Amino acid sequence: MNADKIQHLETLLERKLEPEEKERLRRIGHILGLHADDAIWDMLAAMEYQKTYYEVLPEKISAASAEITQGIAAAAEAEAQRAQGRLVESVAELAQKLAVRINWSTLLPMGLCALVCIMLLGRTVSGLISDYECGAAYVPCAMAAKEMPRKFAASEASCTQGLVHSELQ
pLDDT (tens digit per residue) in 8-27:
778 877 888 888 888 888 88
pTM for the model = 0.38
| b/e burial code for range 6-28 (CB count within 10 A of at least 16 → b) | beebeeeeeeebeeebbeebeeb
Select from 157, 158, 162 the least CA-distant residue to 129.
162
User: What are the pLDDT digits (tens) for 78-131?
Assistant: 999 999 999 999 999 988 887 777 666 777 788 888 888 888 877 776 666 665
pLDDT of 102: 66
Rounded to an integer, the average pLDDT of 28-34 is 87
pLDDT of 162: 45
pLDDT of 129: 61
Domain range summary for the chain, segments of one domain joined by +? 3-67
Q: What letter would DSSP give residue 68?
A: H
Binned at pLDDT 50, 70 and 90, residue 146 comes out as low
> Taken in order 127, 129, 131, 134, is the CA torsion positive or negative?
negative
